[in-house]
Structure 1
Amino acid sequence: MVHTKIADKNWTGIPTAPADDHETRFLYPPSTAATLNMVGVAAQCARIWRTIDPAFATKCLAAARRGWAAALRHPNLLTSSDFTGSGGYGDPDVRDEFTFAAAQLYATTNEAVFLDRLRKDGIFTDPGTDIGWGSLRLAGALTLATLGDTLPADDRAKLRTRITALADGFVAEGKRSGYGIPFGGTNYPWGSNSSILNRAIVLGVAWQIDRKPAYRDAVVSSLDYILGRNPLDRSYVTGIGTRPMQHPHHRFWAAAADKRYPAPPTGVLSGGPNSAAANELGPMKGCAPQTCWIDDYRAFTVNEVAINWNAPLVWTAAFLDATRGR
Structure 2
Amino acid sequence: MLLAVLVASLASATPAPVASAAPGLEPLRRAYGAAVGRVALWRRAREREDAPPFGHLATSQVGYAPRMQKRFTSPRPFTSFEVVRESDGAVAFRGGPPVRAVGTDLLGATRTVWIGDFSPLAEPGRYRVVLDGGLASHPFGVGREVFDPAVRAVQRWFYYQRAFTAVEAPWAEGPWTHPSDAAKAPPGVRKGWHDAGDFSIYNAPLATALFWMLAAYDDFAPSDDATHVPESGNGAPDLLDEARWGLEWLVSVQDAATGGFASTTCQDRYARYGENTHASVPPYRAGEVGTLATARAVGTLAFAAAVFDRRDPGFAARCLAAARRGYAYLEARPGEASDGPSCPAYRRDGDAEVGRHVRMYAAAGMLRATGERRFAADFERASIASWADPDYHHVAAFAARLYLRAPAGDPARKQALRERFRALAQEVRVAADAHPFELAARYQWGSISAALHRAGASSAWACVDAGGRGEDCDRALAPIHYALGRNYLQLCYVTGLPGVTRGVRRVFHHWLATLRAEPPVFPGALAGGPNPRPDPRDVSYPQARPRPIWGYFGDPAFPRDDATPIEGRYTENDSWSTNETAADWQGAALYGLHLAQWLARRADAP
Instruction: Provide TM-score, normalisation by structure 1.
Output: 0.89
Q: Distance in 2 between matches of 1:156 and 1:34?
A: 26
Residue 199 (structure 1) aligns with: 454
Which residue of 455, 474, 479 corresponds with 1:217?
474
Q: Distance in 2 between matches of 1:88 and 1:100?
A: 18
The one-letter code of the counterpart of 2:339 is T
Query: In structure 1, the residue corresponding to 2:504 is in which secondary structure?
Result: coil
Q: Per-residue deviation at 1:12?
A: 4.3
| One of 383, 386, 402 as aligned partner of 1:143 | 402
CA contact (8 A) 2:505 2:519 kept: no
2:356–2:383 Cα contact (<8 Å) kept: no
* Cα distance in 1 between the residues matched to 2:474 and 2:485: 17
1:260-313 Cα shifts (integer Å, max 9, x gaps): 5873221111111110029674322222111110110x2000001111100010
- Cα separation, partners in 2 of 1:74 and 1:285, compared to 1, 3 Å: same
What does residue 488 of structure 2 align with?
231
**TM-superposition CA deviations, 1:44-99 (whole Å, max 9, x none):** 1211111211111111101001001101213425225x66x662433423111100
The answer to whether structure 1 residue 303 and structure 2 residue 579 are counterparts is yes
Following superposition, the deviation at residue 146 of structure 1 comes to 4.0
Q: 2:304 aligns with which of 21, 39, 45?
A: 45
Provide the rounded CA distance (Å) in 1 between the counterparts of 2:427 and 2:501. 32
1:36 aligned to 2:313?
A: no
Q: Please name the residue that 1:78 is paired with.
A: 338
Q: Which residue in 2 is equivalent to 1:170?
A: 428
Deviation larger for 13-22 or 193-202? 13-22
Which residue does 1:108 correspond to in 2?
369
Provide the rounded CA distance (Å) in 2 between the counterparts of 1:106 and 1:206: 22
Match of 2:279 among 8, 11, 19: 19
Q: How many residues align?
A: 314
Asked if the contact 2:372/2:408 (under 8 Å) is kept, the reply is no
2:569 aligned partner: 292
Q: Which residue is equivalent to 2:522? A: 265
The one-letter amino acid of 2:472's match is Y
Query: Matched residues, percent identical?
Result: 24
SS at match of 1:6: strand
- Amino acid aligned to 2:434: R
Cα gap change, 1:11 to 1:168, in 2 (>3 Å): farther
The structure with the largest strand share of the pair is 2
Structure 1 pair 132/12, CA: closer, same or farther in 2 (3 Å)?
Answer: farther
Q: Per-residue deviation at 1:150?
A: 4.3
**What per-residue deviation string (whole Å, max 9, x for no partner) do you get for residues 125-148 of structure 1?**
63x20111111111111222344x
Q: Tell me which amino acid in the other structure corresponds to 1:17.
A: T
Paired AA for residue 99 in structure 1: M
CA distance in 2, matches of 1:5, 1:289: 33
Residue matched to 2:599: 323
How far apart in 2 are the matches of 1:42 and 1:308? 16
Instruction: Report what 1:90 is aligned to.
Output: 348
Amino acid corresponding to residue 113 of structure 1 in structure 2: R
Q: Secondary structure at the match of 2:534?
A: helix
Q: 1:7-48: per-residue Cα shift (whole Å, max 9, x none)?
A: 1343443332211113x6432221111111111111012111
Q: Distance in 2 between matches of 1:261 and 1:11?
A: 24
Q: Check 1:37–1:278 CA distance in 2 against 1; reply closer, same or farther (3 A cut).
A: closer
Report if aligned partners of 2:357, 2:383 keep a CA contact under 8 Å in 1: no
Tell me: CA distance 1:88–1:115, structure 2 relative to 1, closer, same or farther (3 Å): closer
Conservation of the 8 A alpha-carbon contact between 2:269 and 2:281:
no
Q: Cα–Cα, structure 1 residues 227 and 10, in superposed 2: closer, same or farther, change >3 Å? A: same
In the alignment, which of 311, 317, 323 is matched to residue 58 of structure 1? 317
> Cα gap change, 1:242/1:142 in structure 2, threshold over 3 Å: closer, same or farther?
farther
Contact map agreement 2:463 2:472 (CA 8 A) in 1: yes
Equivalent residues of 1:278, 1:284 under 8 A apart: no
TM-score when scaled to structure 2?
0.49
Q: Which residue, 412, 418, 421 being the options, matches 1:154?
A: 412
Q: How has the CA–CA distance of structure 1 residues 264 and 165 changed in structure 2, closer, same or farther, with 3 Å as cutoff? A: same
- Asked if the contact 1:32–1:78 (Cα under 8 Å) also holds between the matched residues in 2, the reply is yes
State the secondary structure of the residue aligned to 2:510. Answer: coil
Greater helix proportion: 1
Q: Matched residues in 2 for 1:133 and 1:179: separation?
A: 26
**1:314 maps to which of 590, 600, 605:** 590
Structure 2 SS opposite 1:115: helix
**For the Cα contact (< 8 Å) 1:271–1:304, is it kept in 2?**
yes
Structure 2 unaligned blocks of 5 or more: 1-259, 537-551
Q: What residue number does 2:148 align with?
A: none
